[in-house]
């Protein structure tokens, strides 16, 4: 009788291990996540000949190094200068499973203060991701230099 109880206990233990093992994923079954986000605000660097926009992008990926590509399109209705503009730029991003934030320089000739449509695409070893959203283009403000405080006249 004792060996019969031991045998059933061993079968129960084995059965428990099989059930527990069925929920474990093998490395081939793991799907690495990819995520990308473009911030709502972007810094416009407006020069006489060319305009640059710095877009803040946050990405999550794994597997080494990825690339984020940002395209900005501004319609006349979105621009305070009533002119259309568009451009794109890219940056590499570290893909180590941590949220990483990078600045992407976008050459957007004729871009002006106002809104624009920002599209960001992530190409990474863990897979692609993308986002499209309306962003705001503006000047960087130096603390204490606003016109109301007597600066930047």
**83-121: pLDDT as tens digits:** 999 999 999 999 999 999 999 999 988 888 999 999 999
**pTM for this predicted structure:** 0.71
Q: Where exactly are the structural domains of the chain?
A: 30-140
**CA angle at 45 for the pair 39 and 50, rounded to the nearest 5°:** 120
Residue 141 is predicted with a pLDDT of 65
User: Tell me: domain 30-140, CATH 3.40.710.10, correct?
Assistant: no
CA dihedral of residues 76, 79, 84, 88 (deg, nearest 10): -140
pLDDT tens by residue, 23-34: 433 333 344 589
DSSP 8-class letter at 79: B
Give residue 144's region: left, alpha or beta (phi > 0; psi -120 to 50).
left
Query: E strand or H helix at 23, and its extent?
Result: none
> Which residue did the predictor score with more confidence, 84 or 145?
84
């Amino acid at each position: 009788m004792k060996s019969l109880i031991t045998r059933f206990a061993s079968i129960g233990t084995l059965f428990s291990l099989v059930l527990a093992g069925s929920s474990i994923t093998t490395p081939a079954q793991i799907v690495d996540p990819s995520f990308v986000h473009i911030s709502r605000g972007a810094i416009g660097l407006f020069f006489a000949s060319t305009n640059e926009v710095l877009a803040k992008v946050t990405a999550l990926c794994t597997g080494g190094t990825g690339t984020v590509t940002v395209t900005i399109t501004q319609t006349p209705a979105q621009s305070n200068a009533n002119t259309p503009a568009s451009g794109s730029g890219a940056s590499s991003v570290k893909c180590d499973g941590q949220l990483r934030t990078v600045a992407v320089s976008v050459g957007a000739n004729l871009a002006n203060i106002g809104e624009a449509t920002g599209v960001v695409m992530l190409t990474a070893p863990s897979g692609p991701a993308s986002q499209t959203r309306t962003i705001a283009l503006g000047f960087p403000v130096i603390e204490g230099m606003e016109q109301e405080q007597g600066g930047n006249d």
